[in-house]
């Protein structure tokens, strides 16, 4: 009886919260919406009337053991086998316990953008496998899936119904008029915002933030919200624990506005979190908002919105430091970043299926630094994607390049220290406050795929190579091959990291001041027992680390985790080779 009363009390509190959230979202849209009924419908769609958990505020659903590998479902293929089965075989055989979570990029039927133009949210792309294969991966690893919430494919059944003017989806899409003032709209693309479409109700102009094959939803219609709640419930049933809200910053549109980061967008995220955390205690929302840093931080809300946010400023700033040999801008940024509250975390990455976003570096890197970075990456084979600014001018939006190639030299040109520079980048990222996400092609040291760019005519294809598993195994079994060296080196770092409480995503972090060629930070475990000083030589020459500069507690014994050697605290200094990282700790685990 007590358990029943607790459930009823939890549901009652949730319903009151949902009504308030729905009122905030829709009060200016339709005054006739019955928020009481709509909240009941959302609860039923999420099946919270059956099982409903009372969420615990500021609870961390992660630890130092969490590493997320980012991959497409067919990044590794083998003849006559389902790619999702091959992917699981690769993870089990080559990653083992080093990686406990996997982000499989959109694995649904799609028409373009390598999965981000979804035709059907409820099924798995047959060319990859099926829900059985997804569930098999979710059984052994924490599974992260995309919720492509801003738009869907123009070839979807929903959009077909929009064209026909009948059935589910006929009123799901946002339209505007070419006569409307759309000058303030912020977009990451140069294509026309509106797509002219002939429908049974006449000519409509459909809002397309990204491409004309990616038609934007109209969340002013509560039926769209209800459909996505059903999708979230399905993904939970299939084993998804981490939800990546793709392009969510653009979700709510409003004429005579920027149509990005609007208050209604934030409230929709908070509402979906309310439902999700009552359905699954340890489910996590990560918002993918490739926008300037200060705007990105707002998606934490007051620890009631995203559980984690993509740390989009890290890739351009870290890569800039390594190719210029100066950590000035990286250090300034790190010092300005607020520590994440318990219950929230940064999602750190330095490479992904997309490129190196430049908008998150705006205001952090000078125009000269940005231009130099773009030119350097172009010299290393990178492609540049552009956006249109508010004034109508083209501006670099993203650098498309494989990370291994991006770090094959400096602003002075290519050199022979690319491997060391590449490992250094990951050693820094693995040690920072937050949850590390590592791209499969970084684990494998994959290079630029120019053939795929030629075939697809898409810049982003340069870092979306598809490996033949038999050829990959041959490469990984050759200990002299750089693919094998990279994987072994990164796994060694990960295996060390996941044992260190001071590398908990929410462990204390302070930036060290060691000059511009030594980048360092201090981490302390939540129980304050373990300290780790991470110091990296980001230059191409040997550097002296003055041990006294670290203010080590001299009564403790100190060890260097990566080499496994004891540190002589009485020594005045230690020498760091070009791009060497040391992790100095007072506690061994």
CATH number at residue 322: 3.20.20.80
Q: Given 113, 246, 354, 449, which residue is catalytic? A: 246
Task: At 488, list the tokens.
Answer: 């072994």
* Active site annotation includes 246: yes
Query: Is residue 8 assigned to a domain?
Result: no
Is residue 552 domain-shared with residue 491, that is, in the same domain? no
Q: State pLDDT tens for residues 515-550.
A: 999 999 999 999 999 999 999 999 999 999 999 899
Contact 429, 314 (CB under 8 A): yes
Is residue 262 domain-shared with residue 320, that is, in the same domain? yes
What does the DSSP 8-state code read for residue 93?
I
Q: Which DSSP string corresponds to 301-318? A: TTTTS-SEEE-TTHHHHH
Is residue 347 domain-shared with residue 414, that is, in the same domain? yes
Is residue 320 domain-shared with residue 441, that is, in the same domain? yes
- pLDDT at position 4 is 58
Is residue 275 domain-shared with residue 393, that is, in the same domain? yes
Q: State pLDDT tens for residues 234-276.
A: 999 999 999 999 999 999 999 999 999 999 999 999 999 999 9
Kindly indicate the confidence band of residue 7, based on its pLDDT and cuts at 50, 70 and 90: confident
Query: Is residue 305 assigned to a domain?
Result: yes
Separation between Cα atoms, residue 537 and residue 123, nearest integer Å:
48
Contact 574, 582 (CB under 8 A): yes
Query: Is residue 209 assigned to a domain?
Result: no
DSSP count for the chain of H helices, then E strands:
17, 27
Q: Which of 8-12, 207-211, 496-500 has the lowest mean pLDDT?
A: 8-12
Boundary (domain end) residue, out of 470, 502, 534: 502
- pLDDT at position 459 is 94
Separation between Cα atoms, residue 237 and residue 230, nearest integer Å:
11
Query: Is residue 497 assigned to a domain?
Result: yes
Residue percentage of the chain with pLDDT more than 70: 99
Boundary (domain end) residue, out of 502, 525, 545: 502
Beta carbons within 10 angstroms of residue 399's beta carbon: 26
Boundary (domain end) residue, out of 458, 477, 502: 502
Domain of 230, in residue numbers: 68-154+217-502
Q: State pLDDT tens for residues 357-367.
A: 998 998 999 99
Q: What is the mean pLDDT of residues 551-567?
A: 91
Separation between Cα atoms, residue 540 and residue 420, nearest integer Å:
10
Is residue 481 domain-shared with residue 557, that is, in the same domain? no
Q: Which of 28-32, 127-131, 135-139, 416-420 has the lowest mean pLDDT?
A: 28-32
Q: State pLDDT tens for residues 495-517.
A: 999 999 999 999 999 999 999 99
Q: What is the average pLDDT score of the chain?
A: 95
User: Which CATH number goes with the domain that contains 560?
Assistant: 2.60.40.1180
- pLDDT at position 342 is 96
Q: Which of 87-91, 362-366, 419-423 has the lowest mean pLDDT?
A: 362-366
Is residue 410 domain-shared with residue 541, that is, in the same domain? no
Q: Which DSSP string corresponds to 213-227? A: TEEEB-TTSHHHHHH
Task: At 402, list the tokens.
Answer: 């494989």
Beta carbons within 10 angstroms of residue 137's beta carbon: 21
Q: What is the mean pLDDT of residues 94-98?
A: 97
Q: What is the mean pLDDT of residues 2-23?
A: 87
Query: pTM for the whole thing?
Result: 0.96
Is residue 460 domain-shared with residue 495, that is, in the same domain? yes
Q: State pLDDT tens for residues 433-460.
A: 999 999 999 999 999 999 999 999 999 9
Query: Crossing angle for the helix pair 222-237 and 263-279, nearest 10 degrees?
Result: 40
Q: How many domains does the chain have?
A: 2
- pLDDT at position 395 is 83
Is residue 567 domain-shared with residue 419, that is, in the same domain? no
Query: Is residue 55 assigned to a domain?
Result: no
Query: Is residue 519 assigned to a domain?
Result: yes
- pLDDT at position 365 is 95
Residue corresponding to tokens 């996997």: 102
Is residue 442 domain-shared with residue 531, that is, in the same domain? no
Is residue 234 domain-shared with residue 317, that is, in the same domain? yes
Query: Is residue 188 assigned to a domain?
Result: no
Is residue 417 domain-shared with residue 557, that is, in the same domain? no
Q: State pLDDT tens for residues 314-354.
A: 999 999 999 999 999 999 999 999 999 999 999 999 999 99
Cα 68 to Cα 1, 101, 286, 309, 486: the distances in Å are 41, 5, 12, 14, 17
Query: Is residue 175 assigned to a domain?
Result: no
């Amino acid at each position: 009886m007590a358990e029943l009363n607790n459930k009823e009390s939890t549901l009652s509190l949730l319903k009151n919260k949902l009504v308030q959230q729905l009122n905030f979202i829709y009060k200016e849209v339709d005054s006739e919406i019955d928020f009481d009924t709509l909240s009941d419908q959302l609860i039923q769609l999420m099946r919270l009337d059956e099982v409903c958990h009372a969420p615990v505020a500021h609870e961390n659903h992660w630890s130092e053991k969490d590493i997320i590998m980012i991959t497409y479902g067919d990044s590794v293929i083998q003849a006559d086998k389902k790619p999702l089965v091959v992917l699981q075989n690769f993870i089990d055989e080559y990653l083992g316990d080093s990686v406990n979570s996997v982000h499989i990029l959109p694995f649904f039927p799609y028409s373009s953008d390598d999965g981000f133009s979804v035709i059907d949210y409820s099924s798995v792309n047959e060319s990859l496998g099926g829900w059985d294969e997804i569930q098999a991966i979710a059984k052994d690893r924490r599974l992260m899936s995309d919720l492509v919430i801003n738009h869907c494919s123009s070839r979807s059944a929903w959009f077909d119904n929009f064209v026909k003017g009948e059935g589910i989806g006929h009123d799901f899409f946002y339209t505007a008029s070419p006569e409307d003032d759309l000058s303030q709209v912020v977009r990451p693309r140069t294509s026309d915002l509106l797509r002219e479409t002939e429908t049974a109700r006449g000519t409509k102009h459909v809002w397309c933030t990204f491409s004309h094959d990616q038609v934007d939803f109209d969340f002013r219609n509560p039926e769209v919200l209800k459909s996505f709640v059903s999708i979230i419930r399905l993904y939970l049933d299939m084993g998804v624990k981490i939800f990546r809200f793709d392009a969510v910053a653009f979700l709510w549109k409003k004429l005579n506005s920027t149509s990005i980061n609007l208050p209604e967008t934030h409230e929709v995220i908070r509402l979906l979190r309310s439902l999700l955390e009552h359905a699954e205690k340890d489910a996590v929302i990560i918002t993918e908002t490739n926008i300037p840093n200060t705007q990105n931080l707002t998606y934490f809300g007051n620890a009631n919105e995203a559980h984690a946010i993509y740390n989009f400023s890290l890739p351009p700033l870290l890569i800039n430091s390594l190719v210029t040999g100066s950590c000035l801008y990286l250090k300034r940024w790190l010092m300005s970043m607020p520590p994440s509250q318990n219950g929230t975390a940064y999602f750190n990455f330095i490479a992904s299926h997309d490129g190196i976003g430049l908008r998150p570096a705006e205001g952090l890197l000078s125009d000269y630094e940005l231009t130099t970075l773009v030119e350097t990456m172009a010299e290393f084979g990178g492609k540049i994607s552009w956006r249109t600014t508010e004034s109508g001018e083209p501006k670099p939006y993203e650098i498309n390049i494989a990370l291994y190639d991006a770090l094959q030299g400096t602003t002075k040109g290519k050199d022979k220290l690319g491997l060391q520079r590449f490992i250094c980048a990951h050693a820094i990222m693995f040690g920072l406050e937050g949850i590390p996400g590592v791209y499969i092609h970084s684990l494998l040291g994959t290079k630029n795929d120019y053939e795929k760019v030629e075939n697809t005519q898409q810049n982003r294809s340069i870092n979306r190579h598809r490996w033949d598993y038999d050829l990959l195994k041959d490469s990984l079994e050759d200990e002299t091959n750089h693919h094998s060296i990279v994987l072994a080196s990164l796994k060694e770092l990960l295996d060390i990291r996941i044992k260190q409480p001071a590398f908990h995503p929410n462990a204390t972090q302070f930036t060290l001041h060691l000059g511009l060629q030594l980048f360092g930070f201090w981490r302390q475990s939540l129980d304050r027992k373990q300290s780790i000083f991470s110091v990296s030589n980001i230059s191409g020459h040997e550097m002296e680390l003055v041990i006294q500069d670290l203010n080590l507690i001299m009564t403790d014994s100190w060890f260097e985790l990566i080499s496994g050697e004891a540190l002589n605290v009485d020594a005045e200094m230690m020498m760091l080779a070009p791009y060497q990282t040391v992790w100095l700790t007072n506690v061994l685990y």
